[in-house]
A and B are shown apart, each in its own frame.
Chain A
Amino acid sequence: MEPILQCSGLCKNYVGKTALQNVNLKVERGRIVGLLGPNGSGKSTLIKLCSGLLTPSTGILSIAGMAPGVETKKIVSYLPEHRYLSDWMCAKDLLTVFSDFYADFDMSKALDMLQRLGISLSSRLRTMSKGTREKMQLILVMSRNAQLYLLDEPIGGVDPATRDYILNTIISNYSENATVIISTHLIADVEKILDEVIFLREGSVLLHTPADELREHEGKSVDACFREVFKC
């Protein structure tokens, strides 16, 4: 099967700023990939390009061999960094919306996760704590049987126990056909579950290697490599 994500010569420019320049990437299926880089390195831009929220300035981006559009949105599951759902909606409403629009939404999986986390179907987003809200958003995204999951800072603002839960959900959701791309700063927490890592600096890809290979080569953790590479 073709790689789930392929970029060649991908550039994204804004007025007075180049967010991504000449990005060439090939990400195969069945991987958990870490997209790592400091603020402003272009991580969010790349993820938004893959999810179809932005269009490339030049270059080619293809998801499962297709250009971003309605067909790729059917197979891509995107978790934005911040809140994006209507406050007044309750858990049941959200499940209904997702299952209405996405053919690959697994309602039983979602209900199971809600139950295990003790989130009641009638609880509204506006009354949920920050951690519960993040879990809710994650449940919606991970209950889809998508081919590409794009998680933008999924563990950023939550407590360590929730972090563990989120990482465990990502592992247990693993499928050979699907790839998860995680964009994060919290490398030390996440690196144990990563197959491959991509380092981004100022819109360019610095490296893209398997995590264990990096560890073997450098004799240190991915987190330590990152600190060294991106020393201020």
Chain B
Amino acid sequence: MLSKLIHYDFRSTGRAFGPTYLVVLALSVLYTILNHIPHANSRPLTALFDIICGLYILSLFAMFLLTLIFCIKYFYDNLFKDEGYLMHTLPVTPAQLLWSKIIIGGVWTLASCAVAFVSLWIASLPGIRSDIRYDREFLQFCQQALNKLAENPEYIGVLLLSILTIIAGLIFVELLFYTSMSIGSLVQRHHRIVAVLVLIGFMIAHTILLGILSTLSDIQEVQNFVERVSFSLNEVQEMCATLGCVLAYFVLFIGVNFVINNVIMKKHLNLE
């Protein structure tokens, strides 16, 4: 059932992203073309080049912003407006509905990153005006990482854990937005304002929590404990332990958000 939901959500959302990605890629192609045309003495061409450059950078920001806004809007429209009458009467659990939204939110975010990366690669093809080669730097970074891995294969664990933590972090952030919208749906009017307030509330809460945690880590006993533990671990294990703690934090609050959303969708569904 989950795969069917994901399929449905993809079909519903795909139509919005296509044009955006095309625009970004087109602008980067335009930029690179202009970059290859000698126009040192041509004022209009120089001006055009600068405009395209500005537009392109703007389009990158716009793409990411649109991805965020669109995914959140889709979450709300699909589950709490008219379409909710369809989604909540399908033979699926609220958890499945939520996971589907998380997965497509994640996929579109990654797709936007991929498009940004490809367009940057296109834009950075060696030209006359600028020759910052982002791809060369990125490739150098990848090479270094692979070398380090080859030397110390145990770093694979760190790599995998990092990927896991990044994914968990992405889901965690998505859920902050989604949960805010869900809580916003509980009020009759001004649900967007309430959602924004709730989101700010969440961010404040997490900041406070992290503040408390860091205060706790200043306590002598805690510092002694951490020192003793890190003494017995080697570098890799220490990195894994740290990542593990971050991952645990994310997973804990993913769970909390899931429970909140589940309760709202099961017991307090309030379709407009």
Contact = CB atoms under 8 A, between A and B. Distances in A.
Q: Do chains A and B touch in the complex (CB under 8 A)?
A: yes
Interface of A: 51-55, 70-71, 73-74, 76, 78, 80, 82-86, 88, 93, 97, 100-102
Contacts of B89: 51-53, 73, 76, 78
B271 A53 contact: yes
Interface string B88-108: 111111000000000000000
Nearest to A69: B93
A70 B92 contact: yes
Nearest to B12: A86
B154 interface: no
Interface residues of B, number: 22
Nearest to B268: A55
Contact of A101 (B1, B84, B85, B269): B1
Interface of B: 1, 4, 7-8, 11-12, 15, 82-86, 88-93, 266-267, 269, 271
Contacts of B11: 93
24 contacts: A51-B89, A52-B88, A52-B89, A53-B85, A53-B269, A53-B271, A54-B269, A55-B266, A55-B267, A70-B91, A70-B93, A71-B91, A73-B89, A73-B91, A73-B92, A80-B85, A84-B85, A84-B86, A85-B86, A86-B12, A86-B83, A88-B15, A100-B8, A101-B1
* 4 interchain residue pairs of minimum CB distance: A84-B85, A73-B91, A74-B91, A80-B85
Given A76-B89, A85-B83, A85-B86, A101 B4 contact: yes
B90 to A, nearest CB: 5
Nearest to B87: A84
Contacts, number: 47
B148 to A, nearest CB: 47
A101 B89 CA distance: 10
Contacts of B91: 70-71, 73-74, 101-102
Contacts of B8: 97, 100
Contacts of B15: 88
Contacts of A80: 85
Contacts of A84: 82-86
Contacts of B4: 100-101
Nearest to B94: A70
A54 to B, nearest CB: 7
B74 to A, nearest CB: 11
Nearest to A93: B11
Nearest to B3: A100
Contacts of A86: 12, 83
A64 B215 CA distance: 56
B261 to A, nearest CB: 15
A88 B74 CA distance: 14
Nearest to B78: A86
Contacts of A101: 1, 4, 90-92
Given A76-B89, A83-B82, 19 more contacts: A51-B89, A52-B88, A52-B89, A53-B85, A53-B89, A55-B267, A70-B91, A70-B93, A74-B91, A84-B84, A84-B85, A85-B83, A88-B15, A97-B8, A100-B7, A101-B1, A101-B4, A101-B90, A102-B91
